[in-house]
Amino acid sequence: MRILGIDPGLTRCGVGVVELGAGRRVRFIHAGVIRTPPSDPLEQRLLAVSRGISALITEFTPGAVAVERVFAQHNLRTVMGTAQASGIALAMAAEHGLPVGLHTPSEVKAAITGYGSAAKLQVGTMVMRILGLDEIPKPADAADALALAICHGWRGSVGAGLEANGSETPAQRAWREAEKSAGKRRVAS
């Protein structure tokens, strides 16, 4: 199944598509950024994000959408645009009949690096390694969107089912265990 990850934003909305296979294997399909100029009227920017996401869903036919959960607590200056873009992403997923998963940044970091407070570079590096890419996807928003998609796949029921049947590679098992122990350390939100 393909998973579309969306790191919502107005100036740069990161998007990434991965294919989740057997044994928690994930394959890179697409990464990019929907950009809208800050000089455009807000409603036109939101419409551009909406159409961009809709076009991606049509092109890559994901079976699920993962969106970063936005909090009001940080980045007060930009949080409203981010929240509005996330609303657009969620409504677009629903419009296409796709199930949605919301993941916090620390959940994504824990799933990808085993550590919920990992630095951006560390997340990007692990996304590159997990997907077997030659370099870290750029810009960071695209890497974050791929991380969200991977996180969604690994945290979902598909991954949970595989834990029991021993089809993991040793590296995949290491990821899962790191994720688990990070989960234990995480403060309930």
Residue 7 CB, nearest approach to a second copy (Å)? 16
Nearer to a second copy, 43 or 134 (CB): 43
Selected from 1, 22, 91, 174, the binder of a second copy by CB under 8 A is: 91
Structure-token pair, residue 77? 């200056």
Cβ–Cβ under 8 Å, residues 85 and 49: yes
Residue 1 CB, nearest approach to a second copy (Å)? 18
Distant-in-sequence contacts of 151-154, Cβ < 8 A, 24+ apart: 151/5, 151/66, 151/103, 151/107, 151/108, 151/111, 151/112, 152/3, 152/5, 152/64, 152/66, 152/101, 152/103, 153/1, 153/3, 153/18, 153/20, 153/24, 153/26, 154/24, 154/26, 154/111, 154/179
Active site residue 68: yes
> Under the criterion CB under 8 A, does residue 26 sit at the interface with a second copy?
no
Of 92-111, binders to a second copy (CB under 8 A) are 93-95, 100, 102
Which x/- pattern, by CB under 8 A, does the window 37-56 give for a second copy? Answer: ----xxxx-xx-xx------
Residue 41 CB, nearest approach to a second copy (Å)? 7
Structure-token pair, residue 87? 């609303």
Residues contributing to the site for a second copy (CB under 8 A): 41-44, 46-47, 49-50, 70-73, 76, 79-80, 83-88, 90-91, 93-95, 100, 102
Q: Please report, in range form, the residues annotated as the binding site for Mg(2+).
A: 7, 68, 141
